[in-house]
Amino acid sequence: MGEIERRLADLGLTLPPAMPMLPGVRLPFSLVLRQGSRLLFSGHGPQAPDGGIHPMRGKLGAELGVEDGYEAARQVALSVLGSIQREIGSLDRITRWVKVLGLVNSTPTFCAQPAVINGFSDLILSLWGPERGAHVRSAVGMAQLPFNIPVEVEGELEIDGD
């Protein structure tokens, strides 16, 4: 078990398994793409512990509040880390988080998207620290997200070249 996996365990967190494909859904793209030392990850939503879509659904500013969104974004971080771990093995290979784009399923008047996406950023920073975990970020509201999930995140990071 690597350093990051130990930190996750110390926090009582586990990474979900790969999400099973939903009937009638086709995803003709990679969840994680390696390009030299760059690692890009496609948009991920929150997953349940069994790997399925997390039961928390809805729009921030209507069915869900900021605290719900923060927790959903934290769950998205676990989903992303699970996909990355399946691609590269040890999460210790991540040398730098670079960019995060957070999409929040929001009502037109909801304006706390940054506070919601802090759930993702705060977990990354707690695991990698301020040097390796710091990243640039955007947090934007969307009229709707797939499957009515509350949060989706995509991004880029650097890994060691081995």
pLDDT of 95-120, one tens digit each?
Answer: 999 999 999 999 999 999 999 999 99
Q: Count of residues for the chain?
A: 162
- Domain limits at 66? 56-162
- Reported as a pLDDT band with limits 50, 70 and 90, residue 162 is low
13 belongs to a structural domain: no
| Residue 87: CATH number of its domain | 3.30.1330.40
Number of domains comprising the chain = 1
- Cα distance between residue 100 and residue 12, in whole Å: 24
Give the full edge-to-edge strand order of the sheet including 32-35.
Answer: 32-35, 38-44, 151-159, 94-105, 136-142
Parallel, antiparallel, or unpaired: how do β-strands 136-142 and 32-35 relate? unpaired
- Reported as a pLDDT band with limits 50, 70 and 90, residue 22 is confident
- Reported as a pLDDT band with limits 50, 70 and 90, residue 26 is confident
31 belongs to a structural domain: no
Count the Cβ atoms, other than its own, within 10 Å of residue 67. 11
79 belongs to a structural domain: yes
Q: Answer yes or no: pTM beyond 0.85.
A: yes
